[in-house]
């Protein structure tokens, strides 16, 4: 099966530091959210940046059977959209205008409908009231939501979100994950999300990869990946998975491992 994303023998990092050496993953399915889990410094963001062609990398990155590494940058950018932890500073555009610009950058656009399409995305995210606000006047959480709108409107085949919930309150965290899940299924795309809150991954992700020091420790359904053994080995905590009255799992940490 060629659908989805496969990473084979990926080697990437920064100029003076190799972060990932020889990473191979199972197929990450289309129409599902894959959560990237692991402690700080485990290579999660580095992996996303390599997928987005922002870090030098070697190996194979097969998206629906096509090796992203062989594509010209412009064509790869049409297929892959990366949302960093924070948008660039000092961008003096209206939120709506920034979403329109993102849509036009993705390729051919019906100019009669692009503004309506952009406004509809803002409405989905609950931030249509910010349409005429300038980006450099928004809070960190508001900017993150506008960044997500810019990402979704580009209609990628691979959507990469680096900690999209870090600046959001509980209400928006749930709303954003719900929207990302719905759009991922509707568009049948591969979505990979760096998530620090393991309970959010258990609740909202369909698949999970757990990294430590650039190596893949576990992969599979979130409930198969988040186990007491893996929590101890990767995070150094004595943890367990409990279930609430509605049958939903959550992690309880009792202490640190010796």
Q: Over the stretch 102-140, which tens digit does the pLDDT of each residue have?
A: 998 876 556 568 999 999 999 988 999 999 999 989 988
Mean pLDDT to the nearest integer, 23-36: 97
pLDDT at 111: 59
pLDDT at 141: 85
Q: Are 82 and 160 in contact (CB under 8 A)?
A: yes
Same domain membership, residue 117 and residue 48:
yes
Same domain membership, residue 109 and residue 59:
yes
Q: Are 36 and 47 in contact (CB under 8 A)?
A: yes
pLDDT at 110: 63
Q: Residue 171: CB partners within 8 Å, gap ≥ 6?
A: none
Same domain membership, residue 241 and residue 204:
no
Q: Are 50 and 225 in contact (CB under 8 A)?
A: no
- Residue positions counted in the chain: 258
Same domain membership, residue 219 and residue 108:
yes
CATH classification at residue 147? 3.40.50.300
For residue 42, pLDDT beyond 90: yes
Query: Residue 86's closest CA among 162, 154, 158?
Result: 162
pLDDT at 109: 58
Same domain membership, residue 134 and residue 175:
yes
For residue 74, pLDDT beyond 80: yes
- How far is it, in rounded angstroms, from Cα 84 to Cα 82? 6
The full DSSP string for 230-251 is HIIIII-EEEEEEE-TTS-EEE
For residue 242, pLDDT beyond 80: yes
Sheet containing 5-14: order of strands: 17-23, 5-14, 57-63, 66-67
Sign of the dihedral through C-alpha 127, 132, 135, 138:
negative
Average per-residue pLDDT in the chain? 93
Q: Are 41 and 34 in contact (CB under 8 A)?
A: no
The CA distances from residue 84 to 3, 47, 60, 73, in Å, are 25, 12, 23, 18
Same domain membership, residue 61 and residue 168:
yes
pLDDT at 188: 96
Question: pLDDT tens-digit profile of 195-232?
Answer: 999 999 999 999 999 999 999 999 999 999 999 999 99
- Percent of the chain past pLDDT 90, that is, above it, reads 79
pLDDT at 147: 93
Same domain membership, residue 112 and residue 158:
yes
Q: Residue 179: CB partners within 8 Å, gap ≥ 6?
A: 124, 125, 148
pLDDT at 91: 76
Q: How many Å separate Cα 62 from the centre of its chain?
A: 17
Q: Regarding predicted confidence, which is higher, 243 or 166?
A: 243
Same domain membership, residue 241 and residue 207:
no
Q: Are 13 and 181 in contact (CB under 8 A)?
A: no
Same domain membership, residue 252 and residue 196:
no
Its pTM surpasses 0.85: yes
Instruction: Provide the domain limits for residue 258.
Output: 227-258
Total domains in the fold of the chain: 2
Same domain membership, residue 118 and residue 154:
yes
Mean pLDDT to the nearest integer, 95-106: 91
Q: How many Å separate Cα 7 from the centre of its chain?
A: 16
Q: How confident is the model at residue 172 (pLDDT cuts 50, 70, 90)?
A: confident
CA angle 50, 59, 38 (to 5 degrees): 50
Same domain membership, residue 258 and residue 138:
no
pLDDT at 12: 97
Same domain membership, residue 236 and residue 217:
no
């Amino acid at each position: 099966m060629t659908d989805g994303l496969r990473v084979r023998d990926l080697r990437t990092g920064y100029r003076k530091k190799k972060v990932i050496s020889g990473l191979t993953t199972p197929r990450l399915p289309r129409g599902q959210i894959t959560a990237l889990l692991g402690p700080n410094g485990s290579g999660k963001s580095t992996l996303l940046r390599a997928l987005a062609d922002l870090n030098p990398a070697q190996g194979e990155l097969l998206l629906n059977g096509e090796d992203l590494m062989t594509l010209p940058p412009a064509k790869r950018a049409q297929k892959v959209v990366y949302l960093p932890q924070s948008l660039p500073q000092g961008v003096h555009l209206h939120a709506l205008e920034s979403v329109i610009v993102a849509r036009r950058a993705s390729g051919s656009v019906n100019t009669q409908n692009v503004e309506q399409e952009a406004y509809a995305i803002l409405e989905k995210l609950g931030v249509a009231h910010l349409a005429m606000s300038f980006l450099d006047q928004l809070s960190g959480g508001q900017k993150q939501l506008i960044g997500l709108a810019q990402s979704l409107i580009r209609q990628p085949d691979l959507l990469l979100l680096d900690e999209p919930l870090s600046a959001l309150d509980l209400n928006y965290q749930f709303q954003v994950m719900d929207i990302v899940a719905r759009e991922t299924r509707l568009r049948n795309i591969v979505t990979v999300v760096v998530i620090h809150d393991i309970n959010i991954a258990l609740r909202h992700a369909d698949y999970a990869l757990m990294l430590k020091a650039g190596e893949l420790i576990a992969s599979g359904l979130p409930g198969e990946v988040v186990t007491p053994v893996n929590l101890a080995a990767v995070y150094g905590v004595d943890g367990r998975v409990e279930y609430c009255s509605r049958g939903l799992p959550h992690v309880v940490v009792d202490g640190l491992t010796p």
